[in-house]
Amino acid sequence: MRILHTSDWHLGQHFMGRSRQREHAALIDWLLEQVQLHAVDAVLIAGDIFDTGAPPSYARELYHQLIARLHGAGVALLLLGGNHDSVSMLSENLPLLRHLHTTVIASTGTAEQHVVLLPQRRPADDAGTADGTPGCIVCALPFIRPRDVLQSQAGQSAEDKQQALQTAIQHTYAQVYAAAQARQAELEQSTGQRLPILATGHLTTVGASSNESVREIYVGALEAFPTNAFPAADYIALGHIHQPQKVGGLEHIRYSGSPIALGFDEARQTKQVLLVDVNAQGLQAVTALPVPRFQPLLNLRGTLESLPAILQEAAAQASADCPAWLEITVEQDDYLPDLAARLNAMTQGLPLDVLRIKRQRGSTAPQLEADAGISLQELGPLEVFARRLEQEQLEAPLQQALNDRYRTVLHALHHPEDAA
């Protein structure tokens, strides 16, 4: 059985006034090519399929194209809800999606509801609704919302709440894994075949390397889920962290990462999807497939004197049809008030689109940041607060205290029952 593990597509993302529609359309074309080339049996997307709970119509169209084209290729699709996804939206048309060999798990339910049997690849001309030959069992868990697994208790400390949520999530995994083992034993008895068990998750784990474009999930509560709290599945497919990585150096617990760069801090990452081979003996191999860069996204840094040459090099990576999107950090000359006009003059006639200008923090000048075209809707509350704090000269302990207080306020807003 060969699974293609990916996550965090964020269909419909509005990136500083620019649409990612062309990139995501190219990604779907490329993915279908890889599915055929590598004889993939099933595709698994581990959360954050959409960027918002109310995605634009073109994002829904891309979503439906992916489902229809994988069905046409005889490949099963498993979709898990993430913290960005709307439960109600993902839950639309479930009977129709099942007919198209697509399983959607949008929220946390009973243990049995999370045990999904993924079939091996069907012949491309098989349009029937039969399940096909079983290939593996999946403990299909989406982003676990605290209200689905935990009852808030008055008087709990922050540490108690964190421990209670961790215990509740671990208990949820244990229950689903036990149900999967029961299904495995039942099928082995009836068919003589032992199916491997996979698990999924959309959360932050201890030791995972994150970045600024990943939003905190459990505000004021669980910061990271320990690796040893996962069940003993043959492979654990994770989403939420955009940087591809093994968890704790373990081969069988992986973040696939996002397939396209979702922020300038991801511009230098090599994006990938993962081919996961499993059989009756468990995990056999994990192979990373690098994803082509469909949109040049570049971090540039230099003085006004050095930037013209740097910009010429950047222009060589772009074209008139696909200009490069730039974040430029100006060094030394960062005190000048007309940086935007100067940089626009430098890029005149080049296939370059300056989306963000940053001023390097100097010893005498406060740091300022000009984000061309960016709106508050594109930033998370924590990022807005962090940017505001950067403009103040504060001691580290005071900065930390303010951050902690702000997280407490956010938690009270998101969980009024706790505040009560």
Half-sphere exposure of 205 (CA within 13 A, CB side): 26
Distances in Å between the alpha carbon of 172 and those of 30, 64, 253? Answer: 35, 30, 18
| pLDDT score, position 370 | 44
* Residue 338: partners with Cβ closer than 8 Å, 6 or more residues away: none
219 pLDDT higher than 60:
no
pTM of the model: 0.81
pLDDT digits (tens, 9 = 90+) for 123-162: 765 554 445 789 999 999 999 988 888 776 766 676 777 7
Across 26-51, average pLDDT: 97
* Number of other CB atoms surrounding residue 392 within 10 Å: 10
| pLDDT score, position 220 | 43
Across 204-216, average pLDDT: 69
- Cα separation, 177 vs 138, in Å, equals 9
pLDDT digits (tens, 9 = 90+) for 82-105: 999 999 999 998 999 999 999 999
**DSSP code of residue 42:** E
Residue 157, both tokens: 């400390």
Return the ∠ at Cα 200 (arms to 199 and 203), rounded to 5°.
Answer: 135
- Cα separation, 248 vs 225, in Å, equals 12
* Number of other CB atoms surrounding residue 223 within 10 Å: 12
Q: How confident is the model at residue 397 (pLDDT cuts 50, 70, 90)?
A: confident
Half-sphere exposure of 113 (CA within 13 A, CB side): 11
**DSSP code of residue 369:** E
Distances in Å between the alpha carbon of 88 and those of 54, 105, 141? Answer: 10, 11, 16
Residue 30, both tokens: 């490329």
Whats the size of the chain, residue-wise? Answer: 420
| pLDDT score, position 368 | 36
More confident residue, 197 or 225: 197
- Cα separation, 235 vs 200, in Å, equals 8
The β-bridge partners of 412 are: none
| pLDDT score, position 20 | 95
Q: Show the domains of the chain with their CATH numbers.
A: 2-290 (3.60.21.10), 298-419 (3.30.160.720)
Q: Which of 204, 198, 166 is nearest to 8 (CA)?
A: 204
| pLDDT score, position 147 | 84
pLDDT digits (tens, 9 = 90+) for 300-350: 999 999 999 999 999 999 999 999 999 999 998 777 788 889 999 999 999
Q: Do 118 and 143 form a contact (C-beta atoms < 8 A)?
A: no
pLDDT digits (tens, 9 = 90+) for 46-69: 999 999 999 999 999 999 999 999
Beta-strand ranges (E) seen in 184-247 are: 197-202, 235-239, 245-247
19 pLDDT higher than 80:
yes
218 pLDDT higher than 60:
no
Which residue carries 């993915």 as its tokens?
31
| pLDDT score, position 365 | 34
Give the torsion sign (CA, 335, 338, 340, 343): negative
Across 249-257, average pLDDT: 95
109 pLDDT higher than 50:
yes
Which residue carries 């505040």 as its tokens?
419
Q: Do 240 and 82 form a contact (C-beta atoms < 8 A)?
A: yes
The one-letter code for the residue type at 407 is R
Across 267-275, average pLDDT: 95
Q: Do 64 and 98 form a contact (C-beta atoms < 8 A)?
A: no
**DSSP code of residue 292:** P
Distances in Å between the alpha carbon of 392 and those of 367, 398, 416? Answer: 9, 11, 30
Q: Which of 378, 338, 266 is nearest to 17 (CA)?
A: 378
